[in-house]
A and B are shown apart, each in its own frame.
Chain A
Amino acid sequence: ETGVTQSPTHLIKTRGQQVTLRCSSQSGHNTVSWYQQALGQGPQFIFQYYREEENGRGNFPPRFSGLQFPNYSSELNVNALELDDSALYLCASSFGTLANYGYTFGSGTRLTVV
């Protein structure tokens, strides 16, 4: 049974660029949620994908978008990067949107925008 894998682990981008972060779900999980964690803060919910559709969204602008694929892996895309987008991006997979069996988290992608 594999856990959640995120790639890349670290990334540096320039303001205004676009970035794609990737997440593979734990085997048997069909739901992926994404979180942004600024330095010294708790993670903030970005959105959740279930059966390839966005199933819930936090307070993030439309330039944060995502995809989920038939194998339940997922991408987070951020357009027009801003300095404040520098953060650790975490994904978590679960079985079902209510995650009645809990979540498995990835190790995160640390994005630096310069």
Chain B
Amino acid sequence: KNEVEQSPQNLTAQEGEFITINCSYSVGISALHWLQQHPGGGIVSLFMLSSGKKKHGRLIATINIQEKHSSLHITASHPRDSAVYICALREGADGLTFGKGTHLIIQP
């Protein structure tokens, strides 16, 4: 079973700061997902990665398959970025294995 470790668990930063959230896993995967969950519970899919780097607006996600590590970066952070960010792995056809999430608060 894949072990997913996210760090940090909690992060409070000031508006405008550059944010990095990390995800490490133990077993090879087919794809890695970065997800955003707001207090109401709904989950929004941000990125799906199997290699390299993806960028969408102020969000950047990278993955290093050899090191079994991925990072999510937020540039010019804003209070509306406050949410729980979750790393989730797909190993095959058996659904996703989730990390516990990083609780991010951006203060004005």
List chain A positions with a Cβ less than 8 A from chain B. 33, 35, 37, 40-45, 47-48, 55-58, 88, 90, 92, 97-99, 102-108, 110
Q: How far is the CA of A97 from the CA of B30 in the complex (A)?
A: 12
Which residue from chain B places its CB closest to the CB of A41 in the assembled complex? B100
Whether the Cβ atoms of B95 and A56 lie closer than 8 Å is yes
Contact between B93 and A103, CB atoms less than 8 A apart:
no
**How far, in angstroms, from A104 to B45 measured CA to CA in the complex?**
7
Q: B48 touching A102 by the CB < 8 A rule?
A: yes
- Residues in B whose Cβ lies below 8 Å from that of A98: 30, 90, 92-93
Assuming the contacts A42-B86, A90-B43, asked whether A103 and B96 have C-beta atoms less than 8 A apart, the reply is: yes
Taking A42-B86, A42-B101, A45-B96 as known contacts, 8 extra A-B pairs with beta carbons closer than 8 A to each other, sorted by chain A number, are A37-B41, A42-B4, A42-B98, A98-B92, A99-B31, A102-B48, A105-B43, A105-B45
Instruction: Check: B67 CB closer than 8 A to any chain A CB.
Output: no
B51 to chain A, nearest CB (A): 14
> Are the C-beta atoms of B98 and A56 separated by less than 8 Å?
no
| Cβ contacts A to B, 8 pairs, < 8 Å | A42-B88, A45-B95, A97-B93, A102-B33, A102-B45, A103-B33, A103-B96, A105-B43
B93 touches A55 (CB 8 A): yes
- Given the contacts A42-B86, A98-B30, A103 and B45 also touching, CB distance less than 8 Å: yes
CB distance from A65 to the nearest CB of B (A): 16
Q: Which residue of B lies closest to A43 (CB)?
A: B98
How far, in whole Å, are A57 and B92 apart by their CA atoms in the complex?
A: 12
Interface 1/0 per residue, B78-108 and A, CB below 8 Å: 0000000010101011111111110000000
**B41 CB contact (under 8 Å) in A58, A99, A107:** A107
The answer to whether A48 and B33 have CB atoms under 8 Å apart is: no
Residues of B within 8 A of A56 (CB): 93-95
Between B4, B41, B99, B100, the greatest number of chain A beta carbons within 10 A of the residue's beta carbon is seen for B41
